[in-house]
Structure 1
Amino acid sequence: MRLFAAVLPPEAALAELAEAVAPLHDLPGADRLTWTTRANWHFTLAFYGDVDPDTLPELYTRLGRAAHRNGDFQLRFQGAGTFGGRALWAGASGGLPPMRRLADSASAAARRAGIDTTEHRAYTPHLTVARDRAGAADLPRYAAALADFEGHPWRAAHLSLIRSNLPTQGIPGAQPRYETLTSWPLGA
């Protein structure tokens, strides 16, 4: 099963972001993008890829410890950017140092549980808003349109383990379906 650790923003913050993103759907070329659904919006902390179900008990234990050692922190949506001309994302501000520590802890928990994390990259807090698989849209234009967005502060209070169910191949616009397996309160 494909898994990742994440922070899930509260509904009020997602509503603010959805309101800010809505006008982007009217920009030229927006119909060529695959817009992520609000139900799938999250901040990935660590991507684990395909995980053997036998490692889940150890992963649960270690992620629980990671959550306990990291306290909650304040975040807000702020700004936007792109990755390689293929992804448009909304950024974050506020408690970025504790968020990065939590991301490092989530990666370390997986390593200690026996999950290969060799693809671990430097952490960039982001929430993917749209993808351009064909490279046909001017994503920097979209990022510039969202650059001044700043949402209200909210508390990141849980570390969540998410299962990614890949979309059915051959269905245009199909997106993964995310399922929260469990969450741990931060600092509890």
Structure 2
Amino acid sequence: MTMRLFAAAVPPAPVLDALEVFVEPRRSADPDLRWAARDNWHLTLAFFGDVPDGRVEALHRALGDVRRDPFRLVLDGAGAFPNPAAGRVLYWAVAAGSDEFSALSRRVRTAAGRVGVPSDNAKHRPHLTLARRRRPGELTRWLRIVESFPPAAFQAGAFALIRSELRPSGARYEVLEEFRAAPVRTPSEEGRPAADG
């Protein structure tokens, strides 16, 4: 048996809530666009594909050892893959934090590879997929709409191992484990002993 797995950063609930306010009224505006469900919004770090059950525990351990320093990530602007004139994917862009995100992605892929779980290894632009077209088409109008969304900033670094189940109604995601980043410490907290807990 296998599980279809990927690693991703999931924005915090307030960011997802705010985004849903802008997306919800537009979900039925274009019959060619299939909007991702709120619970499926994420930024992919590595796609592992079908992982044999016997390797899943080792992958959990390897990902737990990945250094995941917090960094500021800003979502702002829009893009389309492969291009706006013949787009298949509409996404919210990463305006700041992409270098740190890419570094975390490399660490995740390397850790997984060490335990025999290859990833897609594709160099990709960090993004949050909002919608997919059923067939390639013009997305320029939708880019302008997404560009009107206010930017969202949050502390990233934490990530999740997610299981993907492909269903006729679309993909269903289940978070198997979250790997949290260490909290950001202010200069006044440096040298202060950690609280017992």
Interval of TM-score (by shorter of Structure 1 and Structure 2): 0.7 to 0.9
Q: How does 1:58-137 map to 2 (within 5 A)?
A: 58-66=58-66, 69-84=67-82, 85-117=87-119, 119-135=120-136, 137=137
Partner of 1:152: 152
Partner of 1:171: none
Structure 1 gaps, min length 5: 169-173
Shift in Å, 1:23: 5.0
Structure 2 gaps, min length 5: 184-197
Q: Which has the higher contact order (CA 8 A, sep 6+)?
A: 1
Bigger mean CA offset, 3-12 vs 18-27: 18-27
Shift in Å, 1:124: 1.1
Summarize the Cα distance change of 1:26–1:178 in structure 2 as closer, same or farther, 3 Å threshold: closer
* Aligned partner letter, 1:49: G
Q: For residue 76 of structure 1, give the secondary structure of its aligned residue in structure 2.
A: strand
* Aligned partner letter, 2:133: D
* Aligned partner letter, 1:184: F
Larger Cα-atom Rg: 2
Q: For residue 121 of structure 2, give the secondary structure of its aligned residue in structure 1.
A: coil
* TM-score, normalising length: structure 1: 0.86
Partner of 2:34: 34
Residues in 2 aligned to 1:86 and 1:156: alpha-carbon distance in whole angstroms: 27
Q: For residue 153 of structure 1, give the secondary structure of its aligned residue in structure 2.
A: strand
Q: How many equivalent pairs are there?
A: 177
Partner of 1:175: 170
Residues in 1 aligned to 2:27 and 2:172: alpha-carbon distance in whole angstroms: 22
Higher strand proportion: 2
Q: State the percentage of identical aligned residues.
A: 36
State the 4+ residue runs in structure 1 displaced beyond 4 angstroms: none
